[in-house]
Amino acid sequence: MNEQEIKEMLQLLHQAGMRAELCDTPVRLAGATAHCGDPAEIGDDDMSEYILLPKALVGMYPEMFVPVEGDSMRDAGYEPGDRLRVRFGVTAHDGDNVLAMVDGRCTVKSLLTDEDDLRWLVPQNENYDAIELTEGMDVRIMGVVVGVEKASTRASTRSLLRAVRRTKNNKKAAKKLTEEMIDTDIMRISNAVVHARQWYAVFRAMVDKELIEEGSYVGFCERVRRLVPGHQHLPDSKELSRMAVQSFAKPVALWTEDNAPVRGNRYRDYLNIALQMGALLGGRND
For residues 157 and 159, give the distance between their C-alpha atoms in angstroms, rounded to a whole number: 5
Annotated catalytic residues are 72, 109
Q: Cα–Cα distances in Å, from 106 out to 57, 115, 228?
A: 25, 26, 80
How far is residue 130's CA from residue 73's CA, in Å, rounded to a whole number?
12
Residue 89: band (very low, low, confident or very high) from pLDDT cuts 50, 70, 90: confident
254 contact partners, CB below 8 Å, separation of at least 6: 247
CB count, 10 Å around CB of 122?
A: 20
CATH class of 3-149: mainly beta
pTM for this entry: 0.43
Mean per-residue pLDDT over the chain, rounded: 82
98 - beta bridge partners? Answer: 109, 144
* CA contacts within 13 A on the Cβ side of 20: 14
Which residue spans of the chain are classified as CATH 2.10.109.10? Answer: 3-149
d(CA 73, CA 79): 8
DSSP state of 286: -
What pLDDT sits at residue 46? 43
Quick check: 110 and 124 in contact, CB under 8 A? yes
In the chain, the amino acid numbered 163 is A
Report the C-alpha gap between 145 and 36 in whole angstroms: 12
What band does 166 get if pLDDT is binned at 50, 70 and 90? confident
Q: How many CB atoms lie within 10 A of CB 190?
A: 18
Residue 228 has pLDDT above 90, yes or no: yes
Gap between the terminal Cα atoms of the chain: 43
Confidence at residue 14, expressed as pLDDT on a 0 to 100 scale: 59
Cβ atoms of residues 159 and 96 within 8 Å = no
Q: What average pLDDT does this structure show over 252-262?
A: 95
